[in-house]
Amino acid sequence: MFLLTTIIAFLVAISVLVAVHEWGHYRMAVACGVKVLRFSIGIGKPIARFKPKKQRPGQDTEFVISLLPIGGYVKILGAREGKVPEEERHLAFEAQPLKSRALIIAAGPVANLLLAVLLFAAVNWIGQLEPRAVLAQPVAGSLADKAGLQEGELVRAAALAGQEVRSVRSFQNLDWLLMRGAFDREDLTLQLERAGGGTRDVTLPLAALSSRELTPELLRQTIGVAPLTRPQIGELTPGGPAERAGLQKDDVVLKVGQVQVNGVEQLIGLIRASVADGQPQANLWEVERKGRHITLEVLPRVDGQHGRIDASLGEARPDMVLVRYGPIEGLVAGVVRVWEVSGVSLRALGRMATGQLSVKNINGTVAIADYAGKAAHLGLVTFIGFLAFISVSLGVFNLLPVPVLDGGQLVYFLWEAVTGKPVTDVWLERLQGVGLSLVVTIIAIGLYNDISSRWLFWR
């Protein structure tokens, strides 16, 4: 079932993003007076086609759904698509001013970026439950541990070096800033609210990170920041101290004695410390059970020098908060996110090209399909956010100055604007070959990374 969902989610994602990309080319071509012969969703043999009865003057576009839903294209008059009838030369792509041709080419990637803005804005408007930016106990020896971050502290705001302070609404906000800081080697200053009251500022020295592979797993261990999970009782050992005290599965521990409990690590520490002179010390525990507060006396057993209650602790899901934006605020946040993701993507490509960042960070179609399936299982809002990120990547990638991509065509136009002459057919053929080789290499690297990472996992 998961595999089927993954395949469907991947095909939906690719179809939507490619359709929007080609729609950008199509709409701009029509606006510039260029005749569009065909607009196809998918590639290969057409399985459905139609022509609207009412079309703009000079247009006779055939809209097609093709057999393989993994791409799409717009076929316009001219642009090396065959001989142009004399009476339609004024409608051909090559007959248009340089500015119009550039707009038509650029419209595809721009459409993807605009779609990403709307998708991010939609996520902001709908709202979604995200982990609160309350910190768990930092990983021992990590940057967070060395900086003195403590369990239960709430991150209210954060600022990368030299940038404005941002309000942190959830752990996802914080996670994005951590990723950006690690990637750009910029320290991140956190404004923290302590569990017991009071505030303080702490700076994480992210500029000190030197890894060429910036995977989420590596950053979790190196930076050591994670959302706090609730101190919840899990499975109990029959006849153990927890069961004898009356604790039940899913109880949330609020207090041990007079100490307010914020997270699992703190609760574990209090249980382990409940031994004096080799003897267990009973404490009154306040727990929340199905909305009611209950007080129980818990007497741990002694295991060496530490106390134990013989119950699993913690849960996979931290405390959540609904993050939702207003109409204008959500749209502005969408624009900002597209700008930031685009910048990170471009800088990542540049650093990979210069060897500063490992090419292992490139994902291929297998990873994208996997992410699509997981996002679809997590719900509509998560899937929309996934589409937004992929749409940004598609837009940015197509704007790269690489032959066979839209950005490469724009470079040809720049050459024409500077020299007054178009690139010759001989050079076009040579450059197209180089560009195609480069794109195929990037795809192959991404596919290799996907397969090798999964092979290591399966092995």
> What element of type H or E holds 289?
strand 283-289
**pLDDT score for 447:** 58
Confidence at residue 228, expressed as pLDDT on a 0 to 100 scale: 80
Report the range of poorest mean pLDDT among 127-141, 190-204, 444-458.
Answer: 444-458
Count how many domains the chain has. Answer: 3
**Domain shared by 299 and 329, yes or no:** no
Whether residue 53 lies inside any domain: the answer is no
Indicate if 247 and 193 belong to the same structural domain. no
Residue found by looking up tokens 């100055």 in the block: 401
Domain match, 421 and 347 both: yes
Let me know whether 353 and 436 are in one domain: yes
DSSP type of residue 402? -
The mean pLDDT value for 438-446 works out to 67
Q: What is the CA radius of gyration of the chain?
A: 28
Helical (H) or strand (E) element with 292? strand 292-298
Ramachandran region of residue 40, left (φ > 0), alpha (ψ -120 to 50) or beta? beta
Domain that holds residue 159: 128-227
Residue 355 lies in a domain: yes
Does residue 333 sit within a domain?
A: yes
Q: What local confidence, expressed as pLDDT, does residue 194 receive?
A: 84
* Residue that finishes a domain, picked among 227, 257, 275: 227
Mean pLDDT score across all residues of the chain: 82
Mark which of 203, 227, 251 sits at the end of a domain: 227
Question: Do 280 and 391 sit in the same domain of this protein?
Answer: no
Calculate the dihedral angle through the C-alpha atoms of 438, 442, 448, 454, rounding to the nearest 10 degrees. Answer: -170
Based on the fold, state whether residues 427 and 448 are members of the same structural domain.
yes
Same domain flag for 357 and 252? no
Distance between CA atoms of residues 119 and 113, nearest Å:
10
For residues 337 and 454, state if they share a domain.
Answer: yes
Q: Distances from the Cα of 164 to the Cαs of 158, 167, 175, 377, in angstroms? A: 9, 10, 17, 36
Whether 319 maps to a domain, the answer reads no
pLDDT digits 0-9 by tens, 326-351: 999 999 999 999 998 898 888 877 77
Is the same domain home to 240 and 256? yes
The answer to whether residue 382 sits within a structural domain is yes
Name the domain boundary from 313, 337, 362.
313
DSSP H helical ranges for 312-379: 327-353, 365-378
Say yes or no: 219 and 345 in one domain: no
**Is residue 375 situated within a structural domain?**
yes
Average of per-residue pLDDT across 32-37: 90
If asked whether residues 458 and 357 sit together in one domain, one would say yes
- Of the pLDDT bands very low, low, confident and very high (cuts 50, 70, 90), residue 22 is very high
Do both 205 and 120 map to the same domain?
no
Structural domain includes residue 94: no
Residues annotated catalytic, as ranges: 22
**Which residue, 339, 391, 340, 369, is CA-closest to 20?**
391
Kindly report the pTM of this predicted structure.
Answer: 0.78
CATH number for 303: 2.30.42.10
